[in-house]
Structure 1
Amino acid sequence: MQVGVLYIDDELNNLNSFKAAFRRNFNIFTAQSVKEGRKILDTEEIGVIITDQRMPGITGIEFLESILPIYPDTIRILLTGFSDINAVMGAINRGQVYKYLVKPWQDDELKMYIQNALEIYNLRKENKELAHKLKMANLELAQLTKS
């Protein structure tokens, strides 16, 4: 199963453009609200979340910060039509954002960032699995040496 990429934006045109540009390369999910995005996160394995900064009711940074404890390994990208230094600092400090990009995005550039983010996600996942296997092997070894 291919790990998903979730794009959350309140503007339907942006969602449609994103899906059209990247659906051949990635397993794309889109959501027009944070609520829709959370439902997708709860049911799909999402490796990369891309969110708009300015949405009704919640900023992209606030959303990314809120999901950090639940989905710590998911790579986060903030996309905005506005260049705002406070948003940039907030994104990096509070939302632990991998990339901060200004709209309109360049397809080739965004594709590269998504590919890199998915690689990071997969490496983190693999490292966790290896650490777990190592821990189990050490526990088994400890049991054998006690006997």
Structure 2
Amino acid sequence: MSDIIMEKIKILYVDDEKINLQAFRTTFKHDYEILLAESAKEARQLLGNNAVHIVITDQRMPTETGIDFLTSIKDTHPEPIRILLTAYSDSQLVQESLDNGLIYHYLTKPWEENYFKNIIRNAFETYCLRKKVKSLKKEAQLLKQDLELSQRQNLET
């Protein structure tokens, strides 16, 4: 991660309860750049206009669950690391989401600040590593194409 430019971690936090949004902002505003959304619809709009590193969403929301929201953005916004936050024990649903790669981690409410910060830091490291792997794969593909071109040119001469 040392060769990736360190920037302030940008988090989109989605929760239908304003008090939870305010608590999250108050707790983490000095450490991270925070975007807040009260609904999945609002979150999609924010994602369309902002590059974020981490998306954290509550599971139980009135119009769309957190898992449904994360599923809906997975293909259009695959880069952000997805974290689910729940006050309820939906263990089978959460385990399936972990197994299927939909979410990176889940936390239960109420959350513990230092643990949450560790999860965010680890999620950002994962984000950076994935970005680096993607860059290296692209570089390897270009090198392979250059090698193939060079080999064809050598065969023609």
Deviation at 1:61, TM superposition (A): 0.7
Question: 1:10-29 to 2 correspondence within 5 Å?
Answer: 10-29=16-35
Provide the secondary structure at the position in 2 that maps to 1:73: coil
Deviates more, 1:48-57 or 1:20-29: 20-29
* One-letter identity of the residue aligned with 2:106: Y
Distance 1:58 1:38 in 2: 12
**Aligned partner of 2:80 among 60, 66, 74:** 74
* One-letter identity of the residue aligned with 1:64: L
Distance 1:95 1:42 in 2: 22
User: Which residue pairs with 1:54 in the alignment?
Assistant: 60
Unaligned 5+ segments in structure 2 are 1-6
Distance 1:36 1:95, change over 3 A: farther
User: Which residue pairs with 1:136 in the alignment?
Assistant: 142
Show CA shifts across 1:68-120 (max 9, x none).
12222321111111122233234324562111111111111111101100110
Deviates more, 1:96-105 or 1:69-78: 69-78
Distance 1:111 1:2 in 2: 13
Are the aligned partners of 1:4 and 1:44 in contact in 2 as well (CA < 8 Å)? no
Asked whether 1:63 is paired with 2:73, we answer no
Q: Please, what TM-score do these two structures have when normalized by structure 2?
A: 0.86
Deviation at 1:67, TM superposition (A): 1.2
Identity level (%): 40
Q: Report the structure number with the largest CA radius of gyration.
A: 2
Distance 1:142 1:81 in 2: 55
Deviation at 1:144, TM superposition (A): 1.9
Distance 1:51 1:97 in 2: 10
* One-letter identity of the residue aligned with 2:120: I
Asked whether 1:146 is paired with 2:152, we answer yes
Greater share of strand residues, 1 or 2?
1
Superposition RMSD in Å: 1.6
Unaligned 5+ segments in structure 1 are none
**Aligned partner of 2:97 among 91, 94, 98:** 91
Distance 1:56 1:18 in 2: 20
Q: Please, what TM-score do these two structures have when normalized by structure 1?
A: 0.91
Provide the secondary structure at the position in 2 that maps to 1:46: coil
Deviation at 1:2, TM superposition (A): 3.9
Distance 1:13 1:130 in 2: 42
Question: Aligned residue pairs: how many?
Answer: 147
